[in-house]
Every structure is written in C-alpha cells, then in structure tokens.
C-alpha cells in the first residue's frame, strides 16, 4: 500500500472502511485513548489508528462510519462458553440444586441434542454475543459437533475456537465429580486419545475465522495420561490447552483424593501447567496452589456469574483478584446459558469488580480499566491470539465495537472507560466489525435474519424436549421469605 505517487506527491490510499470521530479506547501497551480518533481498515486488517485529522489526510474509504464522538473499543473475547446449551436456558427452573440438575435434566438434554439442534443453539449464542459486543469466543469442548458450531459462527461472521468433543476418561467415584454418561461422548481414554488435536486441522488456513484448540473437560474427569496427552497435542499444535478446573468443592475434593495433593500442585509436577494453558473457573484454590499458577504463566477464565448463579462460593473463596495482582493473566467467561444465563462479558467484568471489592472490602481492588483489559487484551492472550486481536493497533485484525451515543447511559462522557464498564449496557452496542467485515450494522445483524434463527431455535427446543420426554414446570411460588425460614421464624 503506497502513499506516494510517481510525481512524489502524497496520495490518499483507498481502504475498505473508515471509522471517524471516535473516542478510541485502544487497549494497546500504553492504554492510549484518542479523544477524536479514526480507524482505517483494509481487508481484514487495521492499517491506521490515530487522530481523525491525521488518518483522513492519508486515507479515503469505500465506506465511512461517523461514530459521532461515541466510544470505540476492541471486541470482547469470550474465554469460556458452551454455545450449544442455549436451548436449555431457563428450562429446569430456578431452585434445582447443582447435584440434582445433572442426572434429572442435563444428561438427558445432552443426549437428546442432534447436530441440527446444536447448530440452532450456536446461532442463537453467536447472535447474542455479537449483539453484546463480543467478537471472539472459546468453546469449551462440549459440542457433539464442532462443525455445527463452526458453521453457525461463520454464518454470522464471528471469530471462534472449537475443540474435540467431550474428552474425559475418569469414572467410578460416586462421591466425586466424574464424566457424565453421554451417548455421544462416552468416557474412554482410547476414544479421547484418538480424538485429541483433531480440530487443529482448522488452523492450516491462517485466515480462517474459526480455529481449533485442545480442550479436555477437567474437574476431576481426566486421568494423568489424558492430561499429558492433551498438553502434548497443544504444544505440538502451537495452541492452547483449555479445561474446567476447581469450579466447586466437590470437583476440587475429587482431584485431591485422586492425586493425594491439591490439583494445581499435581498438574505442575507432571508438566501440564504452562503459559499455553487457560483453565476456567478456578474458584477453589488453596495456599499451595498459588505459586504454581503464578510460575506457570497460565491464564484463567474467570466466570463470576456462573459461580454466583449456583451459589458455589466463588465470590468468597476465589482468589482471582489476588492472582491478577500477582501478574496472572485473568480473562472472562460467561459459561453456559443456565450457568451464566446471558452471554454478556460487560456484565461479567462488572461482577468481577463488585465481587473483588466486596471480598477485600477495598474499593481499589479492581477498577474499570482492569475489567476492560480482562474482556479484551487479556482474553486475546488467553485464547492464544494476542498477536491478532484484543487491541486497536495497525497490523492487527479489525475486530472492534462502535458504541451508541443516543442512549442515556452514554452521557455525560467524563471518563470513557468508567462509563463503558459501569454504565453502558449491551443495548448500547451499535456496530460490530469482525475480521474487517461489518457484522452488526446499526444494531442489526448483516448476515443472519434473527426471526429465522428464533424460529429454528424454538423448533429445535421442542424437538429436543420431546425426545427427552420433558415438560417445563415453574417452581412453586414461595409463601414466605427464605431468610425467615432459615432462622425458623414465621
């Protein structure tokens, strides 16, 4: 791309897209904020990020978006999600316990899913994520059909990473956490070893929107041999190893009993913990597990809403804030539609700040910029794509969000980062660009028809529930407050 003509004069380069008059939150190494900024996009890449006047002096575009002074920020990176579970949102009521939901609902539901239902659920999840400002997601290896997820993501134009389905092999401990009895994802070391790393084939195309990574289920469900094999596959494929870990007391205790030591200590000892690991949850950590985590350089996908929804105590026991201040890369995740309920990383960042301050009783425990970093550049690092996404810098992919400036919470714009993290809601997302393509334009998807997606989702939900023999019934209404009941009062 040349700016100089044959006569030596400077000529303006024609690019595909210009965003002008923007308040840019770059999230680059200097955390640069450009008050009247512009972005130039050529193909899938950012080619200029700077003052509007300077960018317009060098570039013209086939399309220009005037941000009107609104905030523009890097797209959010969702680091722990189950996109094929969306058909189950709200389906098993509001009071079923964590221990009851798996045998009574969750296992039958997962066994009833087919590829068509997973595709419909993933479309809905992607539609929701893009509408909330998320441009990339990490699927947790819980889709029976990774192809169905990839097709759904590509259909809306979203970036994502998928993994081999349901890799686990530990069963038999009735008092602990084990692999679930899934028809399409049986617990088997032979099966897991035959599949691990297969989805990395997607990475042969360096321009692919949907890439592969290595994921095992973790949380007491993987043998030492499977852990080692997954780590070796991730290393060989130059990608990340992703797993659930230490979500709640039962799975942490399961690992304690299996290894005879705390799980993060054991995983360091066998050579699994490393800087290409991203473990989800990590709510239950003991003192001797902190240093192995810090030494490893690993990432953690913190899902505060998923812990709070089920009352597992992550807000009290979690050490995410402490680890963050020790230099651990903390990113964010929404989990699944019945663990986190909504796929909104802005909400997760907000909850992260509130729970950290409540636990430490210190207002400075986490601040707005910390949450924004967790949702953007930290997330990009966690999924192994920090060289491509997570900040607004020339040479990176054009993944960004243009916020609205016609909503009450956008004013007054005193501190743009505080305004974004504390005040802005998902409905302030106006335009979303992924890989240089506008996928949400003035709040409307450009590649999918939402009513069609909603119809497909309802059809799939009915088909799956019929296959399960399940009919939703609301929890019985309460006759008195729980707090009074707990005290024995009337």
Q: Does the pLDDT of residue 204 top 70, yes or no? A: yes
146-160, 203-217, 328-342, 443-457: the lowest-pLDDT one: 328-342
Nearest to 413 by CA among 427, 422, 199: 422
Confidence at residue 487, expressed as pLDDT on a 0 to 100 scale: 34
Spatial distance between the Cα atoms of 276 and 236, rounded to a whole number of angstroms = 11
Beta-carbon count within 10 A of 291 CB: 13
Taken in order 225, 228, 229, 230, the sign of the CA dihedral is positive
pLDDT digits (tens, 9 = 90+) for 53-79: 999 999 999 999 999 999 999 999 999
What's the pLDDT tens digit per position in 160-202?
A: 999 999 999 987 655 567 788 999 999 999 999 999 999 999 9
**Mean pLDDT within 236-243:** 98
pLDDT for residue 178: 75
Q: Angle formed by the axes of helices 450-468 and 115-131, to 10°? A: 140
pLDDT at 216 exceeding the cut of 70: yes
| Residue reference for tokens 């550049």 | 377
Report the pLDDT value the prediction gives residue 2, as an integer from 0 to 100: 46
Phi/psi-derived region of residue 444, left when phi > 0, alpha when psi is between -120 and 50, beta in every other case: beta
pLDDT (0 to 100) of residue 95: 79
Tokens at 115, concatenated: 């590829």
- C-beta of residue 309 within 8 angstroms of C-beta of residue 336: no
CA distance 205 to 201: 8
Per domain, the residue ranges of the chain are 13-74+394-445, 76-382
Locus of tokens 């321009």: 207
- Tell me what the mean pLDDT of segment 110-132 comes to: 97
Given this model, what pLDDT does residue 340 score? 63
Residue 480 pLDDT grade (very low, low, confident, very high; cuts 50, 70, 90): low
| Average pLDDT rounded to a whole number, residues 400-414 | 91
State yes or no: pLDDT of 479 exceeds 70: no
- The string of pLDDT tens digits covering residues 366-400 is 999 999 999 999 999 999 999 999 999 999 999 99
> For the chain, what is the largest distance between any 2 Cα atoms, rounded to a whole number of angstroms?
90
The mean-pLDDT minimum among 79-93, 234-248, 350-364 falls in: 79-93
- Partners of 242 in the β-ladder: 215, 278
- pLDDT-based confidence at residue 484 (cuts at 50, 70, 90): very low
Task: Give yes or no for a contact between 395 and 46, defined as CB atoms under 8 angstroms apart.
Answer: yes
Q: What fold does the segment set 13-74+394-445 form as a domain?
A: Urease, subunit C; domain 1 (2.30.40)
In this predicted structure, what is the pLDDT of residue 478? 66
Dist. CA 254–CA 263, nearest whole Å:
9
Q: Is the pLDDT of residue 270 over 80?
A: yes
Task: Please state, rounded to an integer, the average pLDDT across all residues of the chain.
Answer: 92
Cis amide bond preceding 219, omega within 30: no
Q: What is the pLDDT of residue 10?
A: 61
pLDDT tens per residue, range 416-449: 999 999 999 888 999 999 999 999 999 999 999 9
pLDDT for the residue 488? 32
How much is the pLDDT for 175? 53
Give me the CATH code for the 76-382 domain, please. 3.20.20.140
pLDDT of residue 90: 85
Strand partners, 13: 59
Where residue 485 falls among pLDDT bands split at 50, 70, 90? very low
- Taking a C-beta distance cutoff of 8 angstroms, is the pair 299, 382 a contact? yes
Confidence of residue 12 (pLDDT cuts 50, 70, 90): confident
Q: Give yes or no for residue 6 having a pLDDT over 80.
A: no
- Look at residue 486 in the predicted model and tell me its pLDDT: 39
Tens digit of each residue's pLDDT (9 = 90 or more) over 272-324: 999 999 999 999 999 999 999 999 999 999 999 999 988 888 889 999 999 99
Geometric angle at alpha carbon 130, from 394 and 113, rounded to 5°: 130
């Amino acid at each position: 791309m040349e700016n100089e003509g044959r006569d030596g004069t400077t000529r303006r380069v024609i690019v595909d897209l210009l965003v002008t008059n923007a308040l840019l939150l770059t999230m680059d190494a200097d955390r640069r904020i450009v008050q009247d900024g512009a972005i130039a996009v050529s193909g899938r890449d950012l080619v200029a990020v700077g003052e509007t006047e300077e960018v317009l002096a060098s570039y013209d575009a086939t399309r220009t978006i005037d941000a009107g002074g609104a905030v523009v920020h890097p797209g959010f990176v969702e680091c722990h999600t189950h996109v094929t579970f969306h058909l189950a949102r709200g389906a098993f009521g509001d009071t079923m316990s964590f221990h009851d939901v798996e045998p009574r609902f969750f296992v039958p539901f997962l066994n009833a899913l087919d590829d068509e239902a997973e595709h419909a659920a993933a479309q809905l999840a992607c539609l929701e994520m893009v509408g909330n400002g998320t441009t990339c997601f990490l699927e947790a290896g819980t889709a029976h059909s990774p192809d169905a997820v990839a097709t759904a993501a590509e259909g809306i134009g979203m970036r994502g990473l998928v993994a081999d389905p349901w890799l686990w092999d530990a069963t038999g401990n009735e008092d602990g956490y084990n692999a679930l009895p899934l028809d399409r994802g049986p617990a088997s070391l032979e099966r897991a070893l035959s599949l691990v790393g297969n989805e990395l084939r997607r990475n042969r195309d360096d321009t692919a929107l949907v890439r592969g990574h290595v994921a095992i289920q973790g949380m007491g469900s993987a043998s030492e041999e499977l852990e080692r094999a997954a780590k070796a596959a991730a290393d060989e494929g130059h990608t990340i190893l992703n797993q659930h870990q230490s979500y709640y007391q039962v799975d942490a205790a399961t690992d304690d009993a299996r290894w005879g030591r705390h799980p993060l200590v054991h995983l360091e000892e066998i050579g699994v913990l490393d800087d290409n690991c991203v473990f989800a949850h990590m709510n239950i950590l003991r003192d001797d597990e902190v240093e192995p985590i810090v030494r490893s350089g690993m990432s953690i996908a913190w899902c505060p809403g998923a812990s709070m929804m089920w009352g597992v105590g992550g807000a009290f026991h979690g050490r995410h804030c402490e680890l963050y201040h020790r230099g651990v890369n903390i990113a964010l995740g929404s989990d699944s539609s019945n663990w986190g309920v909504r796929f909104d990383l802005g909400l997760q960042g907000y909850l992260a700040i509130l729970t950290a301050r409540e636990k430490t009783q210190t207002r400075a425990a986490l601040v707005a910029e910390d949450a924004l970093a967790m949702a953007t550049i930290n997330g990009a690092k966690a999924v192994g794509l920090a060289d491509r996404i997570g900040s607004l810098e020339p040479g990176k992919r054009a993944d960004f969000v243009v916020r609205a400036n016609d909503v009450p919470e956008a004013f007054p714009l005193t501190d743009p980062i505080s305004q974004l993290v504390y005040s802005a809601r998902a409905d302030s997302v106006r335009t979303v660009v992924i890989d240089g393509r506008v996928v949400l334009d003035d709040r409307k998807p450009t590649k999918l028809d939402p009513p069609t997606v909603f119809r497909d989702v309802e059809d799939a939900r009915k088909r799956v529930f019929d296959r399960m023999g399940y009919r939703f019934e609301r929890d019985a209404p309460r006759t008195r407050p729980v707090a009074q009941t707990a005290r024995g009062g009337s």
